Structure 1
Amino acid sequence: MRVRSDFWASAYLRRCTHEGASAVLRRRGAAEAGAIFVKLDRLDGTAALYGPAPQSEADQSGARVFARLHDAPWIDPAEAETRIARQLRFDPDMWLLEIEDRLGRHFLDLIE
């Protein structure tokens, strides 16, 4: 069974803050099952965008697993915002969390 999106987002934001990264909730989505997206800004003109991993690659335990949503390791923050806007048109129930961390730490379980 998967943890509700609102509980997961709250715990994730607390973890980021505890680790010394700035973390904010930019958009609240559907409380129980909204898809969660994370924008990571390194504050040096580079960013990364993470979203739910494809179901075929996700952990069957119910844990939330993420994938980077672009091929390059880092993209321009404006490109990340364009991708976010496109996703919002497709999924208005999505959550958006933003992390600012100069070290590029995301604290997510990733599918590489």
Structure 2
Amino acid sequence: MTPRLTAKFWVDAYLARLRFQDIPAFVTAHGDDTSGAVIVKLNTLDGEAVAHTRMFDLMSGHRRWDILTKGAERDVDAAIARQKEFDPDLWVIEVEDRAGRHLLDEPGLDG
């Protein structure tokens, strides 16, 4: 069994990779340091946004990033707020990038 990283460790590493690429990002909800789930909201600064969440792929047995919701930023924010209502341990990271970069598809972050 592969050891799992703590949520805080993963978030800190993700934020560092974003900073290295000069992509602004910040934590808008600090979840449980050990096992909190993570949502990454990509704000393209044009009124649109995409919320990504990690899912478990039953076919492969691996975790992968999937789109939770996308559309108008206010609608994405409302969907994230609903998630936070039933998961108080949830982390939310907001990434701001007009080009739509979030790095979640890069090795080490892709699953």
TM tier relative to shorter chain: 0.7 to 0.9
Alignment partner for residue 96 of structure 1, among 92, 96, 103? 92
Deviation at 1:57, TM superposition (A): 5.6
Could you say which residue in structure 1 is the equivalent of 2:56? 54
What do residues 56-78 of structure 1 show as CA deviations (whole Å, max 9, x unaligned)? 26754xxx6311113xxx41100
Kindly indicate whether residue 11 of structure 2 is the aligned counterpart of residue 15 of structure 1.
no
Q: CA RMSD in A?
A: 1.9
- Structure-1 separation of matches of 2:73 and 2:89: 22
Total equivalences in the alignment: 105
Once the two structures are superposed, the pairs formed by residues 50-89 of structure 1 within 5 Å of their partners are 50-56=52-58, 60=62, 65-70=64-69, 74-89=70-85
- Determine helix, strand or coil for the equivalent of 2:77: helix
Question: Is contact 1:58-1:65 (8 Å) kept?
Answer: no
Question: Is contact 1:5-1:30 (8 Å) kept?
Answer: yes
Higher strand share: 2
- Determine helix, strand or coil for the equivalent of 2:33: coil
Structure 1 residues not aligned, in runs of 5+: none
What do residues 29-67 of structure 1 show as CA deviations (whole Å, max 9, x unaligned)? 11111000010000011110011213526754xxx6311
**Larger RCO: 1 or 2 (CA < 8 Å, sep 6+):** 1
Deviation at 1:90, TM superposition (A): 1.3
Q: Give, as a single letter, the amino acid of the residue that structure 2 aligns with 1:69.
A: L
- Structure-1 separation of matches of 2:96 and 2:35: 25
Deviation at 1:2, TM superposition (A): 1.1
Could you say which residue in structure 2 is the equivalent of 1:24? 26
Question: Is contact 1:29-1:94 (8 Å) kept?
Answer: yes
Instruction: Using structure 1 for the length normalisation, give the TM-score.
Output: 0.84
Structure 2 residues not aligned, in runs of 5+: none
